[in-house]
Structure 1
Amino acid sequence: MKTQVKALVVGGGAVGTSIAYHLAKAGWDDVMLLERDELTSGSTWHAAGLLPLFNMNYATTHIHKYSVDFYKTLEAETGLNAGFAVVGNLRMAQTQERMDEYMLYASTAETCDVPYVWMTPEEIKAKWPLIETSDLKGALYHHTDGYINPADVTQAMAKGARQRGVVIERKWQADAFHWTGQAWEVTCTKMVEKGGNLVPSDEQIVITAEHVVTASGNHAQTTARKLGIKIPAIPVEHQFIVMDKDPALVDFRALGHAEHPVIRDADAQSYVREERGGWILGVYEKGAPAVFEHGVPDSFRADLFPLDLERIEDQYMAMIHRIPSCEESGLKDDFNGPICYTPDGNPLVGPAQGLRNMWLAEGFSFGITAAGGTGYYLAQMMVEGEAEIDMASLDPKRFGSWITTEYAARKNEECYDHVYILHHPDEERPACRPLKTAPSYDRMKARGAQFGCVNGWERPNYFGPLDAPESFDHDARSFRRGGWWQYAVEEAKAIRNGVGMIDASAFAKHRLEGPGAAAFLDWFTTNKLPRVGRINLTYALTAHGTTRTEYTIVRHAEDAFTLISAGAWQAYDGDYLAKAVQDKMGEFGPMCLSDVTSQTGVFALAGPKSRDLLNDVIVDADPATALSNKRFPWLSARRIELGMCPVNAIRVAYTGELGWELHHPMEMQNYLFDLLEKAGEKHGLKLVGARAQNWLRQEKSYRAFGNELGRDATPLEADLPRFVDLSKDFHGKEAMEAKGIRSKCVTLLIDGPSDADPWGREALYAQDGSRVGRLTSGGYSVAFEKSIGLGYVRPDVATVGAKLQVKMQDQLWPAEIVEDSPYDPQNARIRVDG
């Protein structure tokens, strides 16, 4: 057995075998895969094998599409039939709101070249008469997908991997991982059969691997303990039943009709497909429990849990309604097995936090669908340094180290029962909340705040009516303009015309200081470093020249800086920064990096009356001039005192109005809140949430990380040359310049429907009907009284005045590319003196 390899993949399910296959295909000729039992013995063996293309996540959609296309090629390569039944996938809707969801998804699917067709109830009934359609609004039909045999496709990928030189070793368990500074030493134990169980033997070896990938499926919690990290992947019970033959179905097929598509009745939380003259019913019901929170018992192998028919009774009755002919069919077999989930339902794919050359591929609730694409894109990340699509939304570090076992288990249960819940773009799920709250949380809640969750932090999305029932926020959601929309409009107007205050405490904040800090940051980021007392906006790039992180840098002294970045990406940004500091300390000099996010609260005060309000509470020898342009210019930072609260004030506003970010000690937040609220009474101060802020930043063409900014585009493609100093050397510069401009970020004003705005997931078309790009942000402009959006288009159409079309609600709506910062393009309102 080999004891030294380039890459070691731990886990022999569909995901692990795909990764090994694609690493070898990408050119690594020294890859080994370890499986503690037999290939497919984990959740792969009892998976239903469905291949749904439907997914609201851009990266996951690409992953699923690659899988569906890739699986169709395996037989020609390996000689093994993967059992792919391309029967299609019929996703039905009982309500108009469900159709609205499908229409939003469909526009997203177009951006990823995922084909689909619409079907009316009459068309469904004509093609598949066994389906009851009287209560349907319509359906979305993916005719290119279907279902596959999980074991067969895994074995086909395993054979393909072996043909490319991969060594696959079964009955070996990875027990310990040690990083030498150059490679991983993985202690492995031979597993043997004993009394029907799989137990460790006395035989051990140490495998040295430059890279390790964990694809341990249901064993993710055990993997996490061995690595000393958090992996919020915990299985949940998933049930499906196999029914006896349905005579009506047998007769239908005997007449020469093709097999039914996978029938998804989302409003009934279930799916159905044919199986040997009968039907399989799978459900995503409420009450399914998480299992193996602390690891899989050694006695659990290819085992199942007892079926809980009471839990799925409603879904069973719904199936009889949808396919009446199955009512007399008996129960032939049942499955209740563990399927891994994560708190947001998307897998964990990418480098592990704090570790070098350790890659995670965990938490796959749709593992068969995602396996092929995960192997393809993860291999790109490992071999080439980056994937061709932005994989940040799947990065394991989107969940910070604050996540506990209890949190992950409860959120994963919620995620399971939300598989078929309407996925509003403005949805907020309630489990495990509130958990992380700023001190002013109760005050804001008392004033009508309806909260969103960002990296665990409760952050106001908008402020609703004070007398709203508990269900108001849920009832306000929609695929169109939800009940919250009118409140966000008033909040946006308050900032444009008066003064508003936004809680921005969730911002990620890292402090870097020491003799090497300035030289390091000059190399690490694209922009000129600010002078002492000033700030700048800048970017850290990947080695491929694309945008890895956006920072606002505040320079407190020659060798002391605060780096502020998006709240949702605290661990993601911090890990990248920490590893870079560690790598470069010997070159640039000593540095100390600390995360001060939880120590510092932030209120953003913005609007034409913001200076007047602050003048009333600032403690200064000359309060009338303390906030003037002369003493406190735009893009500068000063320590000031507001009443008894010391504040690091930054003159900047993400909303494009006169404003300040007030960074304050978290323990003094309630004092500062009360002070500003009382002083703001005479100025008409309004509390403002994140949704209004999102609209306002689009009016200024301010790009957002995770939307316009990511690892699939450079800052130059984002059309941000003013934040890139090409006169200096910085990390990723040559790669950035070599990429050129493949697409370009633009701002669009949209004459859309009267009851809806874009969400930032929609396809963009030219006048001739050709697709030219996609939106990455969307919303409503109070300044222009129409929809607005940012997105990427082909460079040849990225000109001011170009007429495009946006796909919304299955229709094309006129849009026009406008100049950047269509609202106050000269920044006169931001710079106004007082």
Structure 2
Amino acid sequence: MKTHVKALVVGGGAVGTSIAYHLARAGWDDVMLLERDELTSGSTWHAAGLLPYFNMSYATTHIHDHSIKFYKTLEEETGLNAGFSVVGNLRMAQSDARMDEYMLYATTAETCGVPYEFLTPAQVKDRYPLVRTEDLKGAIYHPTDGYINPADVTMAMAKGARQRGVVIERKWQVDAYQWTGDHWDVTLTKMVEKGGNLVPSDEQQIIHAEHVVTATGNHAQRTAQLLGIKIPAIPVEHQYIVTEPDPALVEWRKSNPEHPVLRDADAKWYVREERGGWILGPYEKNAPARFEYGVPDSFRADLFPLDLERIEEEYMSMIHRIPSSEEVGLKDDFNGPICYTPDGNPLLGPAPGLQNMWLAEGFSFGITAAGGTGHYLAQLMVEGEAEIDMASLDPKRYGTWMTTEYAARKNEEAYDHVYVLHHPDEERPACRPLRTSPAYDRQKARGAQFGQVNGWERPNYFAPDGFNDHDSRSFRRGGWWQHAVDEAKAIREGVGLIDATAFTKHRINGPGATAFLDWFTTNKLPRVGRINLTYALTGAGTTRTEYTIVRIAEDDYYLVSAGAWHAYDQDYLFKAIAEKEPELGRINAQDVTTQWGVFAIAGPKSRDVLKAVIKDANPDTALSNKRFPWLSYREIELGMCPVRAIRVAYTGELGWELHHPIEMQTYLFDLLEKAGADHGMKLVGARAQNWLRQEKSYRAFGTELGRDATPLEADLPRFVDLSKEFHGKASMEALGIRSKCVTLLIDGPADADPWGREAIYNGDEKIGRLTSGGYSVAFGKSIGMGYVPPDLASAGTKLKVRMFRELWDAEVVEDSPYDPSNATIRVDDIPMDG
């Protein structure tokens, strides 16, 4: 056995095998794959092998698309038939809301170049007469996907990997990982058969690996324990049944092609043909999580007992949809573990806190994702960045607050939500509330309808008693829409208060702090008492993190970044500090997120509210432009609460962020609420704030800002100081301007706004996509932000946006279409010499 390798891939299922293959294909000629049992002996062997395109995630859609195209090339390369049946995928809809979902999904497919077509019930019946259609509204059809034999495609990738020099070793279990400073020492134990079980022997080996990738599937919890990290990948039972031959189907196939994979999303199942019969795969409620603390040594390629009562409803609905199946008996059944994550998407990318350790865990649709996962992860490892933004799949999207109990319950929820209506405003209820700011109960009593951001409860909007958030959801303007309009108008016309406690906050100080931040970020560092917006780049020159930097003292900084990306931002920041500290001097880094609450107060009357409670020798001038200018920071006192106040507002109005000791939050909330009553202050949620920031063309991380575009492509040159050297600068400049971020006003349908995933057209040519969308109270129409070719980015350019299968007129407008001169932000209430 080799003992020194460039990359060690742990796990011999479809995902691990694909990663090993693609690393070799990308040019790494010293790759080893380890499997503790036999290749495909995990979930791969009992997977149904479906290859569905349908996914609301832009990144995941690209991954699935690459898999489907890649699998079609394997036989030519390896001589092994991967068993790909390109029968297509027919996803049926029983309601108008489901058709709306398909139309919204289709915009994601369109931006990724995935082919699809819509069918009427009559067209479905004409093509597939065995399917009952009188209660359908329609369907979406993908002609280029289908299903594949999981074992065959894995073995084909394994052969392709070996042909490219990958060494594959079976029956070796990893028992320890140790980072030496420049490589991993991985301790292995030889596994042997004993009484039908696989048990450790006395034979051990140490592999020295520069990089390690874990693709351990159902064994992810053991991997987490060995690495000393948290991995919220826990299996959930998934069962499917195989019927005896259906005479009607057998007769149909004598002169007709195979049915596509059939999906009745409203009935929560998929069905495909299998040797004259049918395979039914339901996604029922109450499927339990398994192996929360690790897979028993006795569990190998095993299954759980079938629970037919749990899937009775889905079985009966199959009979309804395919009446000929009613008299057909059951031939076989499978109930095995399939790994899930709390949001159903895999954990793919660098492991938190560890060097050269990569995770590829939590694949609930592992066969569909395996090929693309190998391709894009290899890009990330070999080239430093993938061509698509992988942040939405990053393992660090869950922080250290996440527990085993949380992961297990949320994974069960993710399983039974596979076929729910995936509204863009969807909020899933399991394990909530969990992380709450002190003012949570007060806001709830005032009608807050909460969303969850990194575990935090954050108001999305406020509604009157008796309002049901779940029933208000829609793919169009839901019942919440008018409440968000009223909140947005309150900030534009009066004053609103927003709970922004979920912001990520770090304190960076020490002798090396200034030099480090100057290297780490793109903008000039602010002077003491001032703030700057800035970006940290990837090594490839694209945007990795957005920061607001507050300079408290000469070598003392307070960094604020997005609440949804806490662990993601922190890991990158801390790893960069560890890299530069030996060169620059001591750098202290402290996560202070849970020490500070944040209220954002904004609107023309925000100064009036604060003047009523500020404690200052001259309260009438304490908040004036002269004493407290825009983009500055001051320590102030509001009543008895010390506040780190920042003169900035994400809504584009006069306003302040009020960072306060979190233990004083309820006191401050009550104080502000009482003072605000005299000025009509309204509590405001995240949805109105999101609309308002688009009126100002404020880019948001995770939408406009990400690892697939540079700050210059985001059209933010004012936050990039090209006169200094910073991390990623040369790569950023080498990329040039491939596309450009613009703001568009859209004459869309009367009952809907874009969600930020729609295709942008120039005439009949697709030329870009929206990254954000919503409604503008200032202009009384839909608004969106997105990327287009640079030659179409000028204000006044007429374009179109795809919504609900139609193209709607849109116009590129100047940046910050609302108040482009920032007059409202800078407004003062006293003369400058007052």
Q: TM-score, normalised by structure 1?
A: 0.99
Query: Which residue of the other structure, out of 750, 759, 771, is the alignment partner of 2:755?
Result: 759
Could you tell me how far apart the structure 2 residues matched to 1:700 and 1:127 are?
50
Cα offset, 1:452, TM superposition: 0.3
Answer yes or no: is 1:25 the counterpart of 2:25: yes
Aligned residue type for 1:305:
F
* Matched residue, 1:830: 825
Partner SS, residue 458 of structure 1: strand
Alignment-mate amino acid for residue 726 of structure 1: L
Match of residue 533 from structure 1: 529
Tell me which residue corresponds to 1:58.
58
Secondary structure of the structure 1 residue equivalent to 2:237: strand
Q: Distance in 2 between matches of 1:793 and 1:465?
A: 41
Provide the rounded CA distance (Å) in 2 between the counterparts of 1:92 and 1:600.
48
Q: Identify the residue that residue 287 of structure 2 maps to in structure 1.
A: 288
Shift of 1:343: 0.2
Paired AA for residue 745 in structure 1? C
Distance 2:249 2:538 in 1: 55
Q: Structure 2: 5+ residue runs without aligned partners? A: 830-834
2:689 corresponding residue in structure 1: 693
2:678 match: secondary structure = helix
Q: How many Å separate the matches in 2 of 1:24 and 1:33?
A: 11
Counterpart CA distance in 1 for 2:204 and 2:329 is 49
Aligned-pair CA distance for 1:22? 0.1
2:788 equivalent to 1:789: no
CA drift of 1:723 comes to 0.2
Deviation at 1:146, TM superposition (A): 0.1
SS in 2 for 1:549: strand
Does 2:446 match 1:447?
yes
Q: Distance in 2 between matches of 1:598 and 1:709?
A: 25
Question: In structure 1, the residue corresponding to 2:44 is in which secondary structure?
Answer: coil
AA at the equivalent of 2:358: W
Report Cα offsets for 1:469-494 as digits up to 9, x if no partner. Answer: xxx01001000001000000000000
1:465 and 1:376 mapped to 2: Cα distance?
Answer: 49
Q: Which residue matches 1:379?
A: 378
Q: Note the alpha carbon deviations across 1:705-749, whole angstroms, 9 max, x for none.
A: 000000000000000000000111111111101100000000000
Structure 1 match to 2:709: 713
Alignment correspondent of 1:521:
517
Q: Aligned partners of 1:589, 1:534: CA distance in 2, in Å? A: 24
CA distance in structure 2 between the aligned counterparts of 1:50 and 1:467, rounded to whole angstroms: 43
Partner residue in 2 for 1:597: 593
What are the equivalent positions in structure 2 for 1:161-172 lying under 5 Å apart? 161-172=161-172
Query: Partner of 2:296 in structure 1?
Result: 297
Amino acid in the other structure paired with 2:766: R
Give 1:594's aligned amino acid: Q
Residue aligned with 1:550, SS: strand
2:665 is aligned to 669
Shift of 1:113: 0.2
Matched, 1:809 2:797: no
Q: Deviations over 1:89-110 (max 9, x none)?
A: 0000000000000000001100
Kindly provide the CA deviation profile for residues 128-152 of structure 1, in whole angstroms up to 9, marking residues without a partner as x.
1000000000000000000000000
| CA distance, structure 1, for counterparts of residue 558 and residue 60 of structure 2 | 34
1:238-257 superposed matches below 5 A: 238-254=238-254, 256-257=255-256
Aligned counterparts of 1:755 and 1:239: Cα–Cα separation in 2: 40
- Identical positions, percent: 80
2:267 aligned residue? 268
Q: Helix, strand or coil for the counterpart of 2:380?
A: helix
> Which residue of structure 2 lines up, in the alignment, with residue 318 of structure 1?
317
Report deviation, 1:551: 0.1
- In the other structure, the counterpart of 2:180 is 180
Partner of 2:436: 437
Alpha-carbon distance, 1:798 to partner: 1.0
Which residue in the other structure is 1:733 paired with?
A: 729
Q: Secondary structure at the match of 1:586?
A: helix
User: Are 1:772 and 2:767 counterparts?
Assistant: yes
Aligned to 2:559: 563
Q: TM-score, normalised by structure 2?
A: 0.99
Mapped partners of 1:193, 1:75: distance in 2: 33
Q: Which amino acid aligns with 1:346?
A: N
CA–CA separation in structure 1 for the residues paired with 2:407 and 2:10:
22
The superposition leaves residues 390-422 of structure 1 with CA deviations (integer Å, 9 ceiling, x where unpaired) of 000000000001100000000000000000000
1:610 — aligned with what? 606
State the aligned residue count: 829
Separation in 1, partners of 2:107, 2:8: 39
Post-superposition Cα deviations, 1:578-612, rounded to whole Å, max 9, x if no partner, equal 00001101111101001000000000000000000
Cα RMSD (Å): 0.4
How far 1:799 sits from its partner (Å)? 1.2
Aligned AA (2:784): G
**Alpha-carbon distance, 1:796 to partner:** 1.6
Q: Give the distance between the partners of 2:161 and 2:747, measured in 1 at CA.
A: 51
Question: 2:832 maps to which residue?
Answer: none
Aligned partner of 2:387 in structure 1 is: 388
Matched, 1:635 2:631: yes
* Equivalent residue runs for 1:113-124 within 5 Å: 113-124=113-124
Give the Cα separation in 2 of the matches to 1:243 and 1:250.
13
Counterpart residue identity of residue 659, structure 2: H
* Cα shift readout 1:675-696 (whole Å, capped 9, x = no counterpart): 0000111100100000000000
- Please give the alpha-carbon distance, in whole angstroms, between the structure 2 residues aligned to 1:638 and 1:476: 41
- CA shift digits 1:598-630 (9 cap, x unpaired): 000000000000000000000000000000000
- SS, match of residue 154 in structure 1: helix
Structure 2 matches for 1:336-375, cutoff 5 A?
A: 336-375=335-374
1:546-573, Cα deviation, whole Å (9 max, x unpaired): 0000000000000000110000000000
CA distance in 2, matches of 1:796, 1:309: 59
Q: 4+ runs of 1 displaced by more than 6 Å? A: none
Residue 295 of structure 1 aligns to a residue whose secondary structure is: coil
Partner of 1:478: 474
| Aligned equivalents of 2:343, 2:130: Cα separation in 1 | 35
Q: Give the Cα–Cα distance (whole angstroms) in 2 for the partners of residues 263 and 82 of structure 1.
A: 21
Q: Distance in 2 between matches of 1:174 and 1:387?
A: 28
SS in 1 for 2:213: strand
The amino acid that maps onto 1:494 is A
Deviations 1:218-262 (A, max 9, x none): 0000000000000000000001000000000000001x2000000
AA aligned to 1:730 is F
- SS of alignment partner, residue 549 of structure 2: strand
Distance in 2 (alpha carbons) for counterparts of 1:594 and 1:230: 20
Report the more deviating stretch, 541-550 or 795-804: 795-804
2:643 is paired with a residue of what secondary structure? strand
Which SS does the other structure have where 1:683 is aligned?
coil
1:128-187 Cα distance to aligned partner (Å, 9 max, x none): 100000000000000000000000000000000000000000000011000001100000
Counterparts of 1:450 and 1:330 in 2: how far apart (Å)? 48
CA distance in 1, matches of 2:435, 2:424: 22
Once the two structures are overlaid, the 10-residue window that deviates more, 580-589 or 310-319, is 580-589
Query: Given the alignment of the two structures, is residue 457 of structure 1 paired with residue 456 of structure 2, yes or no?
Result: yes
1:418 aligns with 2:413: no
Cα deviations across residues 488-546 of structure 1 (Å, max 9, x unaligned)?
A: 00000000000000000000001000011011100110000000000000000001100
Alignment of 1:64-213 (within 5 A): 64-213=64-213
Q: Pick which of 118-127 and 444-453 moved more.
A: 118-127
Rounded to whole Å, the distance in 2 between the matches of 1:715 and 1:514 is: 28
Deviates further, 206-215 or 790-799 = 790-799
Q: Aligned-pair distance for 1:466?
A: 2.5
- After TM superposition, give the deviation of residue 467 of structure 1 in Å: 3.4
Identify unmatched segments of 5+ residues in structure 1: none
Question: Aligned to 1:755, what secondary structure does the other structure show?
Answer: coil
